[in-house]
Structure 1
Amino acid sequence: MITAEGVSKKFGRKEVLHQLNLTLDRGVYGFLGPNGAGKTTFLRCMLGIYPLSGGRFLYNGAPISRKNDLTAQVGYLPQKFGVYGELRVCEALEYLASIRRLKLANPAEEIERVLRLVNLEQRVTSRVRTLSGGMARRLGIAAALLGDPEILLFDEPTAGLDQEERMRFKTIVEEVSPGKTVLLSTHILADVDAICDKIIILNEGQILYDLPAAEVAELAEGKVYEVDSSDQGEMVVGIREEGGKKWYRVLSAQPLAGGRPLEPTTEDGYLCAIKKL
């Protein structure tokens, strides 16, 4: 559906994306990488917000251009979402729908639907400026869902949400994702784990891995140990206490004498990829 061919982006002399090749079909993708990896830049290049320094994007086999753009097909939640604070919630969604040139058969009904999904239906007439940070984030998610687009791009979708709302977001993705392309860009694996079909790991402007979510844990095979000292291993990823003694879950590229091997998790695999263990 969407293909990146040799996509590169420079800001001055700094290359933020380096010849990325990627195909996004139907399914839920976790687009993972530490802060500064290039995830937001990639999304903005895809949407035409930033001009490319090299390569191209294709949509259904044709180069993305003014005649073949993604505006009406994409629901996008930017990393920093904001609209005029004096607008009411319903007015903000109407305004955002007009910017995307959405043709809604029944705008009021569609607005009610997306607000219900994000648990904001009681705030439909509230001024945007009165919403808490978490509520404003949920409003951004609702805006992305307007018109039931076939492509959904979420940039740090759970930033500012409490645990209950993070779980609600996962439920929303599971509910709306069938038949769609959904890209969840985040540096927090726990926020997208268990709902992704594939995981794309980006770091320093390059794709390190693009593989089924079930295979990410295998990247840490033979590299996860439990030890009694935080000085062992290359990275501490967890601590537990038993009988007054602390045990450390560590990642190590080398076998640890005296360390107890553990089954790797998806997060272990992700961290091994980022740290090149």
Structure 2
Amino acid sequence: MEKRIEIKKVNKFYGKKQALFDIDLTIEQGMFGLLGRNGAGKTTLMKTLAALHKKKSGEITVCGVPIEKAKEIRVLTGYLPQDFSMYPNMKTDEALEYLGALSGIPKAECCKRITSLLRKVNLIEHRHKKV
């Protein structure tokens, strides 16, 4: 499986306002930062890559899967917006378990992933604290 996101000549409009202008970008496996001023189109691009918004034109593939196959894309990706409100009384591991259930991940596998992911991001000691 290809492990990259390919974006070719992508455009997105909100009515007559163009939010994305001929975006050409290849994102290889690894960590990638998306920076820009307010209104630059960062959120629009992210929502388009997560198959939450439709593009007007151009091509996008995620791991070789065309963005139009939204269900397949959502299995491969996750999207967490900057302003994300969760149930404030949930503990970190409860919130992750809930999100895993929404994604259809079996409970035993989810518990293993939660521990592994919390270790990777140095939050294991916060797993029982409220979000």
Question: Whose Rg is larger?
Answer: 1
- Alignment of 1:17 with 2:23, yes or no, is no
- Alignment of 1:79 with 2:82, yes or no, is yes
Q: 2:8 corresponds to which residue? A: 5
5+ unaligned residues in a row in structure 2: which ranges? Answer: none
* 4+ residue segments displaced more than 4 Å: none
Q: 1:33 corresponds to which residue? A: 36
Q: Amino acid of the residue matched to residue 125 of structure 2? A: Q
Report which of the two has the higher share of strand.
Answer: 1
- Alignment of 1:69 with 2:87, yes or no, is no
Q: 1:118 corresponds to which residue? A: 121
| 1:37 shift after superposition | 1.2
Q: What is the CA–CA distance in structure 1 between the aligned matches of 2:94 and 2:42, rounded to whole Å?
A: 30
What does 1:1-277 align with in structure 2 at a 5 Å threshold? 1-66=4-69, 69-103=72-106, 105-128=108-131
Q: Amino acid of the residue matched to residue 54 of structure 1? A: S
Q: Amino acid of the residue matched to residue 27 of structure 2? A: L
| 1:94 shift after superposition | 0.7
On the 8 A contact 1:62/1:68 being kept in 2, the answer is: no
Q: What is the CA–CA distance in structure 1 between the aligned matches of 2:40 and 2:50, rounded to whole Å?
A: 18
CA 1:30 to 1:109, structure 2 compared with 1: closer, same or farther past 3 Å?
closer
Q: What is the CA–CA distance in structure 2 between the aligned matches of 1:56 and 1:98, rounded to whole Å?
A: 31
| 1:67 shift after superposition | 6.4
Q: What is the CA–CA distance in structure 2 between the aligned matches of 1:37 and 1:86, rounded to whole Å?
A: 34
- Structure 1 length as normaliser, TM-score? 0.41
| 1:48 shift after superposition | 1.3
Identity %: 34
On the 8 A contact 2:50/2:78 being kept in 1, the answer is: no
Deviations 1:114-150 (A, max 9, x none): 223334333323333xxxxxxxxxxxxxxxxxxxxxx
On the 8 A contact 2:93/2:127 being kept in 1, the answer is: yes
CA 1:112 to 1:60, structure 2 compared with 1: closer, same or farther past 3 Å?
closer
Q: Amino acid of the residue matched to residue 88 of structure 1? A: K
Q: What RMSD in Å do the two structures reach over aligned CA positions?
A: 2.4
- Structure 2 length as normaliser, TM-score? 0.77
| 1:10 shift after superposition | 1.1
Q: Amino acid of the residue matched to residue 52 of structure 2? A: I
